[in-house]
Structure 1
C-alpha cells in the first residue's frame, strides 16, 4: 500500500474511500469509473446474472432491466430486517451479505488503485444507527464490522462520521476553535462539538477534544419519504375511504411505497392481491389503479427517484414537479418549496433538537461556537441549512466537501492510528 492508510465511508446514499500517508494530505480514490463517490446501490440482473454497483446499478434499474435493485442498505443495520433474507434472483441473501457484497466492490477498487488491500481500515459510523436503543446501535456496528471482515478487512476501527469531517476541516485551521460539525447524510444526522487546533491535530487520541456528540435517525431519504407521502401517495389512495365511508384505507401500503428499503418487499403476490381487493371496496378505485401500476411494473424506486430529484431542484428553485411517465402511465405532481418545508417540518424540528442536545451535553452556549462545519448532501436543503445555522449568527459557516469530507477525514484518522 506504499504507506497509505485507508478510511471507508459506507453511506446511506453515497460512499467514498480515502487514503492518506502519515503527515500527508488525504485523497479520495476513484470508486466508479473516474468518480470518487459512488451511490450505495446494487442491481442484480435477472437477464444475465451480472451485478452492478452505484450509478450503473441505478441506470440498469431506471432503464427497465429485469432484476433486483437495492439501495439505502445502511439504514437497515440494527433493525429486525437484518435477521431476514430477501430473494435475489434464484437465491435468498441476508441483508448483511448484501452489504458485504457492496463492500467487496469498494475493496476491489482499493486493490485496483494501490495493488493490494490494507488489513487495517477505519470505517465511518453515525453517532446513532438506531435512535434510543443502545443494544440495537451496538448490534448495527457489529453487523457492519462483520460484513467488512468477511470481505478481507482484518483490523477494523470505527470513527463517528461528524468527527471524521472535523478532522479533515481541522487541517485548515491556524488557531484554536470550538466547532460544531453538522453532518446531514442520507439516513442519519449527526452533530459533534469539538475543540480543534493545529496543535491538537497532532494528537493520536482526540477523545478529550470531543465535548459531545448527538444524532438522530433523520437524513435525506427521510425528506424524500415525507415529500412522497405528502404530495404523491394521496394520488395513489392515501387518505381515501372505503365506499361505505366507514373507514380509511390502510396507510402502511403507502408509507412503505415511500420508503426506499421497504419498496422491494411490496413486490409480492400478496400485496397485489390486497390492493386489488381494496380497489373493489374503495370509494376512489382509480387511485389504487395507479398504485397497482407501481406494483405491476416495479416502479416504486423510479417514483422515489423522481421525488428525490424534485427535492434537489427545490434547493435552488421555488417550485418543481414530481413526474413519472411510463407504460401508458403519467403522474405529474407540482410541489412548491413551501409545501416541501411543511412536509418535513417535524424532521427539521428533530434536527434542531439534536443540535441543542449537542450544545447542552458539551456544556456550551451557542455563542461559544466559533465555526459551524456543514457537510453531507442533506445539509444543502435550504430549510435544514437555515435551521442549523440560525443559532449561530456570529459564527463562521464552513461549507465542507459535501460528499467527501467524511471519507477524507477517515483516511486522516487511519493514518494517525495505524502509522
Structure 2
C-alpha cells in the first residue's frame, strides 16, 4: 500500500518505514517526478498505455478505444518511417523533449488542472483519462521497481474542489477520471483523502497537546484550507470527521502564480500594454490566452487558425510590430509552455535571490529580460488576495481562530508568500512544513490506517 500524491506540479509516493512515512525514490527522477508528459503525437498515448496495462485489462481497454488504437497504430507506422519511436516521456524528460522541438509532438503539463473542467466532450474526457492513466502507470512501475514488489492499494490526494465553477459536479467528474485511471493500471483498492487534511496528519505527529491548526496547502493547481483539531488523542481516532472544523478550497495555486507572472512580467516584451498605430490600446485577450496553460478552452482559442490570422493583422496594426511579432511566433511554434516555464523558473530563483535574468533568444534574437522579486509580488497580488480570502473563509466557517497556521506546498517556499502571510496573521505562529513532502507523508499514514 502507498500514499500517492498525484499533484498538479509533481507526483510522489510514500510507504511506511516502521512508524515513519518514507518518500520513495522514483528512479532517475528522485523523490519527485514533474507532472508532465510528452508524446511524439497525441495519438501515441493510447497505444503506449495499452501496452503497459495488466493483461486482464488490455482486452477490455482495446474494446473501449478501438478507433483510437487504430488511428494511433497508423500514426505509429508513419513515425517509424521517419525513425521516430512511439515511446512517451515523463517528468523532466518530457519538458526537455518539448523544449527541443516545441512545434512538434504533444506536451502537456499539469493535467490535473483540467480535471473537472466544464464543457469537456466525451472524447476529451477519454483523452484526459488516458493521460492520467499513462502517468499513473509510469509512477506505479517506478514504485514497484523501487520496492521490489507489486503495489495494489493506494490513497490518492485530492483538493477540496478541483474546479470552482460547478462544485460537486466538477469534483465527481475529476474523481471518476482518477479512480478509473488508477484501477485501469492495476490498483485494486483506491481511496482518496483531502490534501490539506493529509498535510495536517503529518504535522499532527509533532504535537503533544490539542491544537487548532489552520492547514493551508498551496498546490500547483489549487489552494485548500482546513481548520483541524489536532493532538495525540485525536491522532488515535479512526473517524476524524468531528475534528475537521471547516474546509475551503479554490482553483488558485502555483500554476496561477506562474501564469500571472508570465502575463505581467514577460508579456509586455511581446507587446502587452503597447499601442496600436491608431493610438488605441493593444487588445489583451490573446496575451492572456497565450499563457493560460491550465485552461483548455483558452489554449484551443489561442492556437486556432482564426487567431493566427488575427495576430497577423495585429502585427500590421501595431505601433511596435516587432514586439507583437514575438506573440505571433509563440502562436505559430506552440511556445506557451516555454514562456510560462521561464516565469516558473524565475519564481523558483526568487527563493534565494531578489533578481533574475531570463533568456528567450529561442523566441527572438537577443530577447533577454531582468525580473525582480518585487515584480513577482506585484504581478501576483490577485492570487495572494484569493489565498487570504480562502483562509478567512475557513476561519469563519469554523467559528474559531487558529492557534497555528501550517503552510505546505511548493509555493510555500516563496519569500513573497511568507511575507504576505505574516502580514495577514501577525499574531499567529506560522509553521512552514516540508514544501512537497507533507501531503505525501500524510497520505501514507492514512493508507496504513485504513488498509491495515
1:17 aligns with 2:13: yes
- More displaced stretch, 267-276 vs 353-362: 267-276
1:37 aligns with 2:73: no
Written as runs of structure 1 = structure 2, the 5 A alignment for 1:381-392 is 381-392=414-425
Separation in 2, partners of 1:64, 1:7: 35
Separation in 1, partners of 2:119, 2:189: 27
1:219 aligns with 2:242: no
Q: How far off is 1:199 after superposition?
A: 2.0
> What residue is the counterpart of 1:362 in the other structure?
398
Q: 1:81, 1:95 within 8 Å by CA — same for their partners in 2?
A: no
| Selected match of 1:376 from 396, 409, 422 | 409
- More displaced stretch, 266-275 vs 147-156: 266-275
Q: Deviations over 1:65-122 (max 9, x none)?
A: 7422110111101113643657xxxxx9712211121111112122223344433321
> What residue is the counterpart of 1:70 in the other structure?
108
Q: Deviations over 1:183-221 (max 9, x none)?
A: 111111111111111222121211111111111211111
Separation in 2, partners of 1:85, 1:31: 31
| Selected match of 1:28 from 13, 23, 26 | 23
Written as runs of structure 1 = structure 2, the 5 A alignment for 1:160-239 is 160-239=194-273
Separation in 2, partners of 1:232, 1:360: 37
> What residue is the counterpart of 1:339 in the other structure?
375
Q: How far off is 1:249 after superposition?
A: 4.4
Separation in 2, partners of 1:243, 1:84: 44
- Pick the structure with more strand per residue: 1
> What residue is the counterpart of 1:409 in the other structure?
442
Q: 1:20, 1:26 within 8 Å by CA — same for their partners in 2?
A: yes
Separation in 1, partners of 2:249, 2:417: 15
Cα distance change, pair 313–155 in 1 and its aligned pair in 2 (3 A): same
> What residue is the counterpart of 2:45 in the other structure?
none
1:103 aligns with 2:136: yes
Separation in 2, partners of 1:11, 1:372: 22
Q: How far off is 1:267 after superposition?
A: 4.4
Q: Deviations over 1:201-259 (max 9, x none)?
A: 121211111111111211111111111111222222323444334x5444332112112
Please, what TM-score do these two structures have when normalized by structure 1?
Answer: 0.89
- Pick the structure with more helix per residue: 2
> What residue is the counterpart of 1:122 in the other structure?
155
- More displaced stretch, 351-360 vs 130-139: 130-139
Separation in 1, partners of 2:218, 2:376: 17
> What residue is the counterpart of 1:89 in the other structure?
none
SS at match of 1:49: coil
Question: Which blocks of at least 5 consecutive residues in structure 2 are unaligned?
Answer: 42-83
Cα distance change, pair 260–210 in 1 and its aligned pair in 2 (3 A): same
Separation in 2, partners of 1:226, 1:172: 36
Separation in 2, partners of 1:126, 1:277: 42
Q: 2:195, 2:217 within 8 Å by CA — same for their partners in 1?
A: yes
> What residue is the counterpart of 2:317 in the other structure?
281
Separation in 1, partners of 2:109, 2:376: 23
- Cα RMSD over matched residues? 2.4
- More displaced stretch, 106-115 vs 51-60: 106-115
Q: How far off is 1:388 after superposition?
A: 2.7
- More displaced stretch, 399-408 vs 42-51: 42-51
SS at match of 2:8: coil
Separation in 2, partners of 1:348, 1:50: 40
